[in-house]
Amino acid sequence: MDSSMDLACGEAIEETPIKENGDLASLKDMVFILGSTEILMKDNSRSYYWLNGSYFKGNFINGLRDGKGSWKKGVGNSDRYDGNYRNDKKWGYGVFTWASGNVYKGNYEADLRNGFGEMYWVNGTYYKGQWVNGIQNG
């Protein structure tokens, strides 16, 4: 397997995966045992867990998140994203929920809110409208 693909996957994920027995998994293998039944293999839809409790469940193409997926940061009440990815970036429709309880529902391009989206803050205010490069526009 080409080492540049291993590096690209590791850089995109930026956290260390673990095996069932608690050992660190090798990015060179691109196969991770995550309990008795979970296996992540490059180009397949599987689950990916980290020591800090973060996870990604979804599709990969060439070691990068691509297609439908769910990501959660850490354990407990924390940031999470459910939606579409392209080339390891949020792209298309998705829902991002912050640990604070604020929620964005709408379109993304290259990890930024773009197009129509709805932002709801915990204080009861909201915005429904256009976004350009992550900023409300309207």
Q: What is the 3-state secondary structure of the chain? A: CCHHHHHHHHHHHCCCEECCCCCECCCCCCEEECCCCCEEECCCCEEEEECCCCEEEEEEECCEEEEEEEEECCCCCCCEEEEEEECCEEEEEEEEECCCCCEEEEEEECCEEEEEEEEECCCCCEEEEEEECCEECC
Please name the CATH architecture into which domain 3-136 falls.
Answer: Single Sheet (2.20)
Structure confidence by residue, pLDDT tens digits, 84-137: 999 999 999 999 999 999 999 999 999 999 999 999 999 999 999 999 999 999
pLDDT at 44: 57
Beta bridge partners of 18: 24
| Position 17 pLDDT exceeds 60 | no
Q: What angle do CA 13, 24, 43 make, to 5 degrees?
A: 45
Spans of all domains in the chain: 3-136
pLDDT bin (cut points 50, 70, 90) of residue 54 is: confident
